[in-house]
């Protein structure tokens, strides 16, 4: 069904707020948002193929595909994911890749390797392995050697892609980011840290925002559709399911691919 309604019966009256059921994409533009990838190249490519097949067949006047971040770590094919997205976003600006905390953490590790940071503790080993490098995080001499080996294996185009990731995008009544927003702060004034890291304060907020927030970051068993936000992170690495949503006018439709 094209019409997807929110799963909550919350009664929310927020001045100027937008409810999911009433939110609309810009006139003449179809939007697709895709949840966290985490090195699951096979699922991402299949989702992208399905979306592009719809676009080619149905020929909307304009369109965007918005990836919500966390392309690396945990899954086996981070290198392939970055290669695909770096080429695709460079060749067509209608494909938009936003940065997630793991993507920023990967770049920070390359700049200043740490033995106990996010990259070391939350899946960076598989990212390095996808570039042909076996990481050693201890002792510090081994960390420096393996980090330099990893730097040597990463194409410049991949570094440029990571450095160029934006942290949010806005189209019509929707605001897209990786993690969420700090309630009460204007969308244009959100901090980088909140856009890629926030959880509890955002997830527990029950009032409408000025736009519906479309995000990932916090894995859920199935897409979470609430009056003020949509969570599309269905834990692709753990679940084998990658989720997306299409927005066109006031129509909304879920898409999913799985192993």
Summarised one tens digit per residue, pLDDT across range 73-83 is 999 999 999 99
pTM for the model: 0.95
Task: Give the per-residue pLDDT at 3.
Answer: 56
**Mean pLDDT in the chain?**
95
Confirm if 60 and 30 have CB atoms less than 8 A apart. Answer: yes
Strands 241-248 and 229-231: unpaired
The reply to whether 105 falls in a domain is: yes
- The range of the structural domain enclosing residue 88 comes to 20-112+164-258
Neighbouring CB atoms inside 10 A of 58's CB total: 10
pLDDT tens digits, 1-30: 455 766 554 444 445 799 999 999 999 999
pLDDT tens digits, 105-140: 999 999 999 999 899 999 999 999 999 999 999 999
Cα separation, 236 vs 72, in Å, equals 12
Cα separation, 93 vs 88, in Å, equals 8
Cα separation, 28 vs 12, in Å, equals 29
Task: Give the per-residue pLDDT at 12.
Answer: 46
Task: Report the pLDDT averaged over residues 49-64.
Answer: 98
Cα separation, 50 vs 86, in Å, equals 19
The reply to whether 56 falls in a domain is: yes
The reply to whether 101 falls in a domain is: yes
Cα separation, 252 vs 244, in Å, equals 11
Task: Report the pLDDT averaged over residues 152-170.
Answer: 98
Our CA angle for 96, 235, 232, nearest 5°, is 45
Task: Report the pLDDT averaged over residues 199-225.
Answer: 98
Task: Report the pLDDT averaged over residues 77-105.
Answer: 98
In the three-class reduction of DSSP (H, G, I as helix; E, B as strand; rest coil), residue 166 is classed as: strand
Confirm if 257 and 241 have CB atoms less than 8 A apart. Answer: yes
The reply to whether 190 falls in a domain is: yes
The reply to whether 157 falls in a domain is: no
Q: Which of 37, 8, 41 is nearest to 219 (CA)?
A: 37
Counted domains in the chain: 1
Residue 96 in this model has a pLDDT that exceeds 70: yes
User: What CATH number did the domain enclosing 72 receive?
Assistant: 3.60.21.10
Structure tokens at 251: 């129509």
The reply to whether 97 falls in a domain is: yes
The reply to whether 47 falls in a domain is: yes
Task: Give the per-residue pLDDT at 4.
Answer: 72
Cα separation, 145 vs 133, in Å, equals 11
The reply to whether 210 falls in a domain is: yes
Residues written for the chain: 259
pLDDT tens digits, 131-143: 999 999 999 999 9
pLDDT tens digits, 231-244: 999 999 999 999 99
For the chain, percent helix, then strand, then coil, each to nearest 5?
Answer: 35, 20, 45
Confirm if 243 and 223 have CB atoms less than 8 A apart. Answer: yes
Residue 184 in this model has a pLDDT that exceeds 50: yes
Task: Give the per-residue pLDDT at 89.
Answer: 98
């Amino acid at each position: 069904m094209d019409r997807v309604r929110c799963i909550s019966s919350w009664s929310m009256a927020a001045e100027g707020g937008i409810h999911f059921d009433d939110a609309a994409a810009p006139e003449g533009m179809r939007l697709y948002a895709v949840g966290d990838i985490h090195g699951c190249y096979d699922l991402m490519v299949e989702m992208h193929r399905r979306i592009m097949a719809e676009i080619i067949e149905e020929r909307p006047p304009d369109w965007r595909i918005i990836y919500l971040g966390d392309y690396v770590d945990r899954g086996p094919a981070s290198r392939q994911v970055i290669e695909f997205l770096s080429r695709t976003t460079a060749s067509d600006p209608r494909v938009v890749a936003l940065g997630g905390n793991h993507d920023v953490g990967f770049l920070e590790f390359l700049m200043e390797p740490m033995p106990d940071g996010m990259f070391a503790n939350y899946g960076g080993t598989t990212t390095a392995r996808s570039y042909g490098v076996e990481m050693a995080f201890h002792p510090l001499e081994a960390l420096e050697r393996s980090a330099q080996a990893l730097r040597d294996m990463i194409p410049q185009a991949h570094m440029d892609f990571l450095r160029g990731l934006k942290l949010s995008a806005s189209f019509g009544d929707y605001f897209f980011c990786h993690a969420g927003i700090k309630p009460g702060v204007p969308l244009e004034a959100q901090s980088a840290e909140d856009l890629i890291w926030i959880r509890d304060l955002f997830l527990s907020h029950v009032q409408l925002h000025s736009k519906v927030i479309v995000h990932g970051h916090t894995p859920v068993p199935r897409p979470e559709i609430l009056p003020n936000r949509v969570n599309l992170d269905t834990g692709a690495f753990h679940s084998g399911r990658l989720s997306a949503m299409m927005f066109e006018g006031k129509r909304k439709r879920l898409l999913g691919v799985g192993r």
